[in-house]
Structure 1
């Protein structure tokens, strides 16, 4: 595998409403752990569509990993032009930062939002152009990631297309590990 799509929940689907919520740190740590493992196995590109939440957090992780793994590249394939138009100001700023630092940026549809078919086309296109999918998702909590999952499952019926998950259990384990590090780090002072 050389090209990995990454997606997952949007912030509101996770009950995260503040850009500095501690849960985001745990999600980023879980993403970092998995992405490093993939890079060490040969992944060269991470592909996202630029959605707020897991995708933009993934971009933050990829950009921070570039100092250690300069061969790692980030592609942002947006579903349509100006997808950020109706987002809150902080999300727009984060998005613009990611776009300005990504290795490749393009819009799948060369027009602004017109219909939900553009979102389906985005999922199918990204799945078609990648070698596997990493998804922060659980079937117990449906949400927008299910559409990526369905597209990946359809592709998997035609060809080998692995789907990897980050689950709530993975996040709980990461949070536990990070809290232990914080505890032991503080007690050394």
Structure 2
């Protein structure tokens, strides 16, 4: 049973999304909410993100929305280093603070500001070691930052650790959109 899951995926800019008002964001959040709802109904208690802009923050937002119907679910944000958001644009910083201020647990893995990419790697390893599985929004046909996290998870598996990696792809998002359109058509007729 998966009680604690790490969630990651593309950063917003990797998807060509530069605002949370972009039309794709509600669909990505919707797919995440659907998958997390299934997991919650199977016993999921904690969702862990590192607070990266894009899929991780949208997932954090989705978890906060899910709390209304599933008060058992908790959100943990384990940041790779202090002041992670300091170089982001103001709207992204505001969204980040909105999410972490409502999270159930927030901690920084490295107690220093950014020094090198090793801090991201250390955070990824730490989160993988503290969770039961990973949910990743990633498509092997479109490379991006989730590859680093996935490589760490695969190495963890190679050492004999059972660590399921669940995925969401662009096809899943398209299926979700089609399902919504189908439901709208059903109501209109």
Deviating more after overlay: 14-23 vs 51-60? 14-23
Counterpart of 1:38?
39
Normalising by structure 2, we get a TM-score of: 0.96
1:58 counterpart = 2:59:
yes
Pairwise CA distance, 1:183: 4.1
CA contact (8 A) 1:26 1:178 kept: no
SS in 2 for 1:22: coil
Counterpart of 2:139?
138
- After superposition, what is the alpha-carbon deviation per residue over 1:92-139, rounded to whole angstroms, capped at 9, x for unaligned? 001101111000000000010011110111111111110000000011
Counterpart of 1:169?
171
Normalising by structure 1, we get a TM-score of: 0.96
Q: Distance in 1 between matches of 2:88 and 2:185?
A: 37
SS in 1 for 2:97: helix
Counterpart of 1:98?
99
For structure 2, which runs of at least 5 residues remain unmatched after alignment? none
C-alpha spacing 1:117/1:126, structure 2 compared with 1 (3 Å): same
Counterpart of 1:70?
71
Counterpart of 1:159?
161
Q: Distance in 2 between matches of 1:100 and 1:18?
A: 20
RMSD (CA atoms): 1.1
Pairwise CA distance, 1:155: 1.2
Size of the alignment, in residue pairs? 187
SS in 1 for 2:76: strand
For structure 1, which runs of at least 5 residues remain unmatched after alignment? none
Pairwise CA distance, 1:182: 3.7
